Structure 1
Amino acid sequence: MILLAMPCLQEPQPTPDAGALLDQARDLRAQKKWAEAVTVYSRMLGIWKDHQMALFERAQTLSWMKRFEEAIRDFQRHREVYPERAADSEPALAKVTAWAKRFQEAVGILAPYVARGDRSATLDTATFLSWDGQLAKSLALSEAWLKAHPGDRDFLVLRGRVLGWKGEHARARSAYQEVLAKAPGDREAMLGLAQLDLWAGDPEGAAGRVAALPSEEAKGAEAQLMLSQIDQRLGRLRQSRARALAQGINPEVQEDVQSRLRDLAEAQGPWVELSQTRTDSNEGLRTENRHLEATLPFFDGSVRLGGTFNHLEQGGQPERRPQEWTLGLLHPLGPRLSASAQVGRVDDVGGSAASAHALSLGYRLAPGLNLSLYQAYQPNLATPRATEFRTATRTWGLGGSWVFNHTLDHLNLSVERAFLSAGAAKTGLQAAGGHRFPFEHGEWRAGLAARLFDQDQSLNLGFFNPQRYRYYGATAGVSLRREERWECTLDAWGGSQAVNQAASQFSWGYTLAGTWSFPRTPLSLFAAWSQSVAGLPVAATDDPSSYRDHTLRLGLRLRGNRWMW
């Protein structure tokens, strides 16, 4: 007889308490343990399909973790299952969609709410438009709201921010001051003014505004990133980097932190740049330069190493291929003073090696006003014949630049005294001034320029070397840019020039240049094309009226993270 065993009786598992799980997930969120919170929400949704609060809060948490596509799917599901709660889910969906850089889609989600005059939706839409670079539309929406609701603090702050991005710094200051008139010490208004101070070349003024914030607000992420910018402008680059890195764990400002670190890498390194430049003239001269340069952080400054491989050829003359190697150091000497030094060696100047060097001191005299004193010694490598003569030029110079009128105007002036090793001395002066006309995505530029020099005697040294030169002209340009992705510029110049005692003639030229940075990568590409008509010749000639040349430059730059990788 076969006896069948009785099956074991199992006690039914108790159904989890939805309220307890929800409280657990919220506690984890409060501790910023977002991955653990998402696990709890997902467990709830596995038991109670489309649980209203679990679905909504998981979407929120995923968005804070930068998992935008998953968050968007959850918010869309919430809107589909609970259409009566669309007033909650759609604004949240729009915000995450904008964070995913799908700005037009986000604006479309909020359009019905904006049409009904909803304040929050209008503010978010104006913000999303500004993020998308549609500054004029963002500003128009903010100003329309302020016309009906004067003194709305959030719209005034946004208006100031957008005006600052547009380059209208005077109007931006007025918007922030209007906020401070009603709420002295307002954090966002103070930080907005600090940013304007930095752009105007006044880091001390910016630091004073941050110092005026309450201590707790000064410890916030936005204030710390502002202090990082201030530290950089005051020559404290290690402290600037440390402040930025300390905020890297805060997911709310991760993009701002990465932008800060990119700025520091551009200023201090590490980066490697490779470029090639080729110039052809109607004199039959062709010059090619392959240039490799690396910059590495060094305390609060940087060390630069470079190599240039030159190829010089001109009809009827032997080719020359001098190679130049340089080592340089740039370092601040305090909040206002900086110094740089560079030494170099050229392996073939007329058959033997020659040295080169450059020294400079920079001083920030006042907001927007900078002075520089420099001295350089450089072999003349302009043409194959110039290298055969083995001459060099020693230059002393004093220069100044002033950016004023809320960064819209600038003046530059420099005076030089140069000594050619062959026995001639030259005194030169350059002056330029101009005005910017900002617009959405770029700016127009217009200005005047002059260049004059006199030499005590003109020597035949294998390159253009007149005894007297005068140029008076105008400049014009335009720039188009898109966030930190790309920028394209066109600059043109034209004016009257006179060489020695000859009659004056019209000289003109232009440069078209562009840069492209790949999102989320350390790579940037750049290119430039320039052409000159009746400009300064390179080879020896007394009459530049028929001179023509064009130059093409291509290159790439690879940024590192602290040290090269």
Structure 2
Amino acid sequence: MNRRWMLALALLAVAPLPAAAQPIPDTGLRAETQEQWADAVAIYEQALQANPAQAPLWERIADIRATQLKDPAGSARALREAVKHAPRDARLYAKLSRAHATAQQAPAAQAAIDRAVELEPGNAAYLRARAEIAAWNGDHAAAQDSYQRLLVIAPNDPEAQLGTARVHHWRGELAESERAYQAYLLQHPDAAAVWLESIVVVTELGDYARALDMLEIYGQRFGDSAAYRQQMARVLAWAERPTQSLDIVAKLAPTLADDYELGYTRTVALHHAHRPREALGSLAEVALLRLGSKEINDLTRFIHTPLRSNATLGFAYSAGSDDVSLRRFGVRGEYVINPETRLFGGGDRQWLHAGAGSGFEKPDGGASIGYNRAWLGIQHRLSPALSLDGQLGHGSAEGDGHVIYQVGADIQPVDELALRLSRRQDLHTVSPRAAKLGIERRANTLDATWTPDLRYTVASRLAYDTFSDGNDRWEIQLAPRRAILRSQRFNLDLGVSGAWFGYDRDPDNGYYAPARYQRYALTAFTYWKLSDDDGVSVAFGLGP
């Protein structure tokens, strides 16, 4: 039986016994002394046919069925008759709840204990049992209500404090749950199991750095354990440190065969390790251990979504102080052949406009130009550390055609470092003049993202471009940032950025080409979580 049910039954068992009421048939008592329990029940039931309004006798039958005949459903039936004839006896309703609980009848058990609490709202034993049964029945609101009422009666009740933290967690109220756990641990700092529960909540908030800090403190205070290492592996998996996570999982696996928590962690770690086929296999195994649960459904969506064919629409608009504006509308689609390989393609239309006298109009003075593109490509992951992609397409601006292409490699030698090396060619659509002159840009770029720990990220870029008009361009970008806030609804990173670039010369071909340019800014990256699957991300930069 579930541990919460066991606790609820124990709580109900402390209710006082019934007072003596109408005489018990002597023949029934003799049958009991001879341990002829079925005969005793038959004698009592016969007596009740003549006078059913005997709640104590119904209760006696219920006790025999529960304790001697091991018939919890029959015990519950007898107690239902008892409460008909004693409708204001809270103790009988509590006992009926216990019988339904033993029979694994959760809704009926909760209905009975709800009635007991209604009759005796200040009874702490009934409130405690109601909280446990409601939580097991999935009625977290009723469980929370019970714990809150218990805390009114006994403000420092540790069981109610801990129950409140747990129910907040089950209801997805992570911030409230964390606060309740911290309040409990201030009074009970040596509760090792509760420490781990609180770390689970912090992990689900996405504050992986703080979760690791808490695990370090836990290890120093309570030492090593399988539960400690399991949670360490879980945090590392979600923090995109799959190598360390999978190493811990491999060491735990021989002693934790078919363990759901370990299988869940392995699946997440394999996904972040860029091993999609293995992640799918692990998901299939772990799903069998908890079929249909919300957590499995969420994990399935997390693993499968990046592996699904998809199509997206996009629109962009930009305008600069040079009086040049750009609008872009396009569509892009992916067809997933297998977990490692996908085809992709797309097309878009760009509209460029320059203000009169800006110097960025077409050579004939026209202020606008359109540019159409279409492309097709393929991406294939050769190994967890290397993925290659290439695309080929065509662009056209007022009848002038251009070959466009891109080749790239995503390289991840270690968990902390991700590299993207690419070369692409396209029309340099920064103004109507540049587009009409047919200026093509061949961009060679190395992007790097380094996360030395779970709080800091350093993004950088090195680039060298050549142009069809004989010009060259170099660029360096550096942008460190730090995670400042991780909460259930809002994340915030703050940082700084610097960018430097320059051209060999300024050919006056419709693009800004200084010998040297530098820009510095304070940056903020925000993310508002609308749901488990949706959110809004906004980045800000402020500088001279």
TM-score normalised by L of structure 1: 0.69
Q: CA RMSD in A?
A: 3.8
Q: 1:426 to 1:466 in 2, by over 3 A?
A: same
- Secondary structure of the 1:211 match is helix
Q: Is the 8 A contact 1:450 1:472 kept in 2?
A: yes
Q: 1:170 to 1:320 in 2, by over 3 A?
A: closer
* Number of the residue aligned with 1:307: 347
Q: Is the 8 A contact 2:424 2:444 kept in 1?
A: yes
Deviation track 1:170-217 (CA, whole Å, cap 9, x = no partner) reads: 542343345556463323x32321133234442111001111225362
Matched residues in 2 for 1:295 and 1:106: separation?
Answer: 46
Residues 462-473 of structure 1: pairs in structure 2 closer than 5 A:
462-473=510-521
Which of 383, 387, 395 pairs up with 2:443?
395
* Number of the residue aligned with 1:75: 110
Deviation track 1:281-310 (CA, whole Å, cap 9, x = no partner) reads: 565544322222223333233332322233
Identical positions, percent: 17
Q: 1:350 to 1:464 in 2, by over 3 A?
A: farther
Q: 1:120 to 1:404 in 2, by over 3 A?
A: farther
Q: Is the 8 A contact 1:431 1:449 kept in 2?
A: yes
* Residue 283 of structure 2 corresponds to residue 244 of structure 1: yes
Larger relative contact order, structure 1 or 2 (CA cutoff 8 Å, min sep 6) = 1
- Secondary structure of the 1:143 match is helix
Q: Is the 8 A contact 2:98 2:109 kept in 1?
A: no
Q: 1:157 to 1:112 in 2, by over 3 A?
A: same
Q: 1:299 to 1:486 in 2, by over 3 A?
A: closer
- Secondary structure of the 1:308 match is strand
* Residue 246 of structure 2 corresponds to residue 207 of structure 1: yes
Q: 1:162 to 1:427 in 2, by over 3 A?
A: same
* Number of the residue aligned with 2:46: none
* Residue 189 of structure 2 corresponds to residue 150 of structure 1: yes
* Residue 141 of structure 2 corresponds to residue 93 of structure 1: no
Q: Is the 8 A contact 1:479 1:490 kept in 2?
A: yes
**Which residue identity is paired with 2:212?**
R
- Secondary structure of the 2:189 match is coil
Matched residues in 2 for 1:54 and 1:356: separation?
Answer: 74
Matched residues in 1 for 2:291 and 2:130: separation?
Answer: 20
Matched residues in 1 for 2:292 and 2:266: separation?
Answer: 14
Matched residues in 2 for 1:130 and 1:52: separation?
Answer: 25
Q: 1:391 to 1:18 in 2, by over 3 A?
A: farther
* Number of the residue aligned with 1:259: 298
Matched residues in 2 for 1:298 and 1:423: separation?
Answer: 41
Q: Is the 8 A contact 1:76 1:93 kept in 2?
A: no
* Residue 443 of structure 2 corresponds to residue 382 of structure 1: no
* Number of the residue aligned with 1:3: none
Question: Across the two proteins, how many residue pairs are aligned to each other?
Answer: 451
Q: Is the 8 A contact 2:529 2:536 kept in 1?
A: yes
* Residue 501 of structure 2 corresponds to residue 453 of structure 1: yes
Q: 1:177 to 1:390 in 2, by over 3 A?
A: same
**Which residue identity is paired with 2:462?**
V
Q: Is the 8 A contact 2:128 2:146 kept in 1?
A: no
Residues 188-337 of structure 1: pairs in structure 2 closer than 5 A:
189-215=228-254, 217-251=256-290, 254-281=293-320, 285-301=324-340, 302-314=342-354, 317=366, 319-337=368-386
* Residue 199 of structure 2 corresponds to residue 160 of structure 1: yes
* Number of the residue aligned with 1:410: 457
* Number of the residue aligned with 1:184: 224
Q: 1:437 to 1:165 in 2, by over 3 A?
A: farther
* Residue 145 of structure 2 corresponds to residue 108 of structure 1: yes
* Number of the residue aligned with 2:33: none
Q: 1:180 to 1:467 in 2, by over 3 A?
A: closer
Matched residues in 1 for 2:412 and 2:493: separation?
Answer: 24
Q: Is the 8 A contact 1:228 1:243 kept in 2?
A: yes
Matched residues in 2 for 1:342 and 1:127: separation?
Answer: 51
- Secondary structure of the 1:457 match is coil
Shift of 1:425: 1.1
Give the structure with the higher percent helix.
2
Q: 1:453 to 1:266 in 2, by over 3 A?
A: farther
Q: 1:124 to 1:169 in 2, by over 3 A?
A: same
Q: Is the 8 A contact 1:386 1:463 kept in 2?
A: yes
TM-score normalised by L of structure 2: 0.71
Deviation track 1:106-154 (CA, whole Å, cap 9, x = no partner) reads: 4233213355355444333213334556545433322332233232122
Q: 1:86 to 1:492 in 2, by over 3 A?
A: closer
- Secondary structure of the 2:282 match is helix
Asked which structure has the greater CA Rg, the reply is: 2
Shift of 1:93: 1.0
